[in-house]
Structure 1
């Protein structure tokens, strides 16, 4: 997922996603740490504060609240708070029933899932949440007229007939999801999917109330007044994608309302990390956005207010091969090898993030022997400034030019500006004849620029959408909805698609195919330049208990939070 994440956000903002993104959990299967309340064991008699109202700062606006149109961690995290699907991640990173009564029942081939829905789930207008709401939302997501980016991307090759529908060769009614009755869903897959349960927790698969959506027409999801909610909270204030503040309140019609303690959450956008830290210190905020500046983080070192963890969110430089200069592999190699990633994470970010020579992150995706994907493969694109200069000169000669002018698109947060300035300095200093035009834009604009391929170099983040390496590896398939850099390699496509199909049930062979594909992407083709894997640093009021962060899907969950005296 894209991070505003990242944020994820920086695109270190988000997500967050994205992609907000994108790590709570106490088991090795997720490679994350179970959220802990600072300060030791729970006191014998914790007392709740009289006012259960939380103040949260975010570093990006919400691009959309339409679950079939969202692509970023900010949207997904908010959707996770006000809606829910059949399943959700709990505070221990486990997939648990939410709108469903129990985990799915499978046929012998593991290609059909039968899911019984709970009968006490309601929309905020009092309507029951039924199987028909899921069918409608999934069909809307795959319908070409909706122009959902994630619908075809997520369902392609997985949900039966999704590809044919996306190509206009079948009707949306042919999609592999049917309502057997009001509270029974049958989902039909193209083939077994090893990660299917974490996959369908994703926000794309949330239900939508058909009657309400169709009544609202083009106004649906334009603001808080044109939405319905079936989750722990409801939105009582949000004026749309440009809004810099919004409010969530406890949803009394939620089936689990008795277990939700918070009554209100106030959100405000703060793109300046120092301003966020100042607001926290002044008692105006209980949770800050990610703090990526060393000077700010050092102010809180050793404090029980500072929460730090390595998350499986990756940040990389996308290289748009529509530009003839960037179609030259020596130019791409030179760009990737000229960046001192260690200096970036240690001197500019200084927040616990680590240099990356990979796209599938560390401490993420474990095999049956509890080994992470990264433990059994290598890293790529180690900095070599001398080699980069030689490759650059060779590339210029092949192009018949002496200089190259490129447009570099970043984000408008203070952290992103600092990162992008470092990247510009590295690239221009180490590659004589390169001139970069920096474009610092709001997160939503950055998404639009990426989707329209209106860039040469773009600093972007991605957080996992489900618990499997495929959430990173299928991004760069030829013509893929998230490729958006004109990259294509038939061998890469072959390996990734084999991992999706013929090797789906062959764990070791599947792993090796994905690792070989990563090598092609990064070592053979230098299709993009991984820069770092992000560490999250946020400030959390010690009186706030039950805050959960996630390794994939939404960045955070708020529904278990309690504020103590």
Structure 2
């Protein structure tokens, strides 16, 4: 530790040391504390391990959030959400809106994990990355995002064509990159900060083959940080990239992430002791911290985000026989059964497990959040028929019981009651465990144990996504989705057959003449509208309203961090901001503060930030 302190002393800023709880009790000691340097070393705990660092295949926030600090994108965003140059210094679009041209920044270097130079970043790197992503044998989870817009990309992915030169991505010269789209896509620029538009060095990719992204040595870096150490279920260490093209805006010089399966429980006290620089504060101890004269000044609310949370019904159950998957499948295909659960779900009671002080700010009745897109000044969520869900709490005891009776009558002799409802949760999130118990008790008490038997099932954080949701190992599950680009399609597309949550098309009773689910047809109609933006957005609103009306999901909340409150030595208003892509995951531009921001300071600075953001967006 002494050696570490000596090493870090060269990358610090002059200021007072953090004031300890003992110092705060003694004003004289606090005032007389000598000036010393604040180490720009950021320390945190984690419990959910990365399953890959191959950013070309993942869509997990946990994984691409790490990659965002290692690899740069064509464009970036400032702290107010205004687009700015990244690896591209300028860009343009053709008059027919089909061809986008990016000028690549010259002199940017790819470096190895030890910081040694490997090659220059060039336009071909984006072409090579796209060829990898569109090779279906690589099983990239983000391929559908790319082939939804790029000319001939889907045909190449499906092997209808085999010559990649026919795909609409070209290196016109060393520093000129060109994308040709299938159709005009007004939101294309907002897409290029997502992982499927990351670059990769083709020569390195060929050299390491299937080992690419298996560890930090089988990866190249052109971003603000290099992964110096990668020891799964031990620690990861990122260090500032000394060859980075914009290194003067990288203030935090080292990021140390330490694994502990009990991270969510241990982190608060470790933060209070000064051992780490960030800790989520679970609701179970929030009152204790709020009532402590010292600790209350260490915590603040999390800023609400654009990730939305919902409870998904599984129409393709793959869970063990003890939970009766066949019986669940019969029940979930009955719309009145789903509506009984839909109206029995008290989202406010559920949210109190994460945000006991101001739950209403995070409650959401739709999939797409408010303030994401608008039509001629009208927020998307206020478009009819979606507005009736936006403005009405679906929790309704009378309706829940009414639909229960209908479901039991219609399923008599077909399904067995009570229906077992397998509801797993991630043990790495304290609030989730509490919320699962609240939901179980609340819904069973309302609907009766003669109707449902909710079976909560704790699962470890590492591999949770792949072993639970992707494996279909659930009946009802809390899920989330974040936007990839600035169009409502980004919130509806995940529920199509090619999307992440690709089960709704299996629901019985919704097939139309073309043998596709009605929801899929509604989405396709909206996607096909490329000229009239107002009509396009309204069609998406109609599709989302139908999706909610039929109780395919139960909308729940917007994001507010893992928990509603955090203790952190980072200023949330210094970080890059964007509702979509990876920019908000970057540490670039942030500094470690002398002391955490408290709730009062957060409220004041949030108002200032919102005003400055409005001004910045108006001036674009």
Same fold by TM-score greater than 0.5? yes
Q: Which residue matches 1:517?
A: 543
Q: Which residue matches 1:293?
A: 283
Q: Which residue matches 2:92?
A: 105
Asked if the contact 2:99–2:179 (Cα under 8 Å) also holds between the matched residues in 1, the reply is yes
Query: Of 528, 532, 539, which aligns to 1:501?
Result: 528
- Measure the CA separation in 2 of the matches of 1:486 and 1:440: 28
| Cα offsets for 1:215-267 (capped at 9, x unmatched) | 22222211212211110000011234xx3521100111211123322221111
Cα deviation for residue 564 of structure 1 reads 5.4
Asked if the contact 1:292–1:350 (Cα under 8 Å) also holds between the matched residues in 2, the reply is no
| Cα offsets for 1:345-376 (capped at 9, x unmatched) | 2355426453222100123223443x432233
Q: Which has the higher contact order (CA 8 A, sep 6+)?
A: 1
Query: Of 491, 496, 505, which aligns to 1:477?
Result: 496
- Measure the CA separation in 2 of the matches of 1:340 and 1:543: 33
| Cα offsets for 1:190-213 (capped at 9, x unmatched) | 111121111111122111112212
| Cα offsets for 1:93-118 (capped at 9, x unmatched) | 1222111111x211111111011101
1:378 is aligned to 2:387: yes
Q: Which residue matches 1:308?
A: 302
- Measure the CA separation in 2 of the matches of 1:58 and 1:373: 36
Query: Which stretch of structure 1 is more off in the superposition, 278-287 or 530-539?
Result: 530-539
Cα deviation for residue 297 of structure 1 reads 6.6
Query: Of 414, 417, 424, which aligns to 1:409?
Result: 424
Query: Of 440, 445, 460, which aligns to 1:424?
Result: 440
Q: Which residue matches 2:81?
A: 93
**Higher Cα radius of gyration:** 2
Q: Which residue matches 1:246?
A: 236
- Measure the CA separation in 1 of the matches of 2:500 and 2:302: 33
Cα deviation for residue 507 of structure 1 reads 2.1
Aligned pair count reads 511
SS in 2 for 1:180: strand
Query: Of 384, 395, 405, which aligns to 2:407?
Result: 395
Asked if the contact 2:353–2:435 (Cα under 8 Å) also holds between the matched residues in 1, the reply is no
RMSD: 2.5
Asked if the contact 2:48–2:461 (Cα under 8 Å) also holds between the matched residues in 1, the reply is yes
Query: Of 505, 518, 530, which aligns to 2:555?
Result: 530
Alignment of 1:51-450 (within 5 A): 51-58=39-46, 60-102=48-90, 104-125=91-112, 126=117, 127-152=119-144, 154-171=145-162, 173=164, 174-240=166-232, 243-269=233-259, 272-289=263-280, 291-293=281-283, 295-296=285-286, 299-300=289-290, 303=297, 305-322=299-316, 323-346=329-352, 349-350=355-356, 352-353=358-359, 354-369=362-377, 371-376=378-383, 377-380=386-389, 382-399=394-411, 400=413, 401-413=416-428, 414-431=430-447, 432-433=449-450, 434-448=452-466, 449-450=468-469
1:95–1:227 Cα change, 3 Å: same
1:212–1:266 Cα change, 3 Å: same
1:457 is aligned to 2:476: yes
SS in 1 for 2:73: coil
| Cα offsets for 1:158-180 (capped at 9, x unmatched) | 11112212222122613211111
Structure 2 unaligned spans of 5+: 1-34, 317-328, 511-516, 595-620
| Cα offsets for 1:282-316 (capped at 9, x unmatched) | 11122224x44163276258636424322122111
| Cα offsets for 1:386-412 (capped at 9, x unmatched) | 322332232233222332123222212
Cα deviation for residue 515 of structure 1 reads 0.9
Tell me which protein shows more helix as a share of its residues: 2
- Measure the CA separation in 1 of the matches of 2:234 and 2:427: 14
Q: Which residue matches 2:611?
A: none
Structure 1 unaligned spans of 5+: 1-46
- Measure the CA separation in 1 of the matches of 2:394 and 2:334: 20
| Cα offsets for 1:513-555 (capped at 9, x unmatched) | 11101111001x2111112223343222278983445433334
Q: Which residue matches 1:466?
A: 485
Asked if the contact 1:95–1:201 (Cα under 8 Å) also holds between the matched residues in 2, the reply is no
SS in 1 for 2:371: coil
Cα deviation for residue 451 of structure 1 reads 1.9
- Measure the CA separation in 2 of the matches of 1:181 and 1:198: 24
| Cα offsets for 1:306-354 (capped at 9, x unmatched) | 2432212211111012322211111111111111111122355426453
What is the TM-score when the length of structure 1 is the normalising length?
0.84
Cα deviation for residue 379 of structure 1 reads 4.5
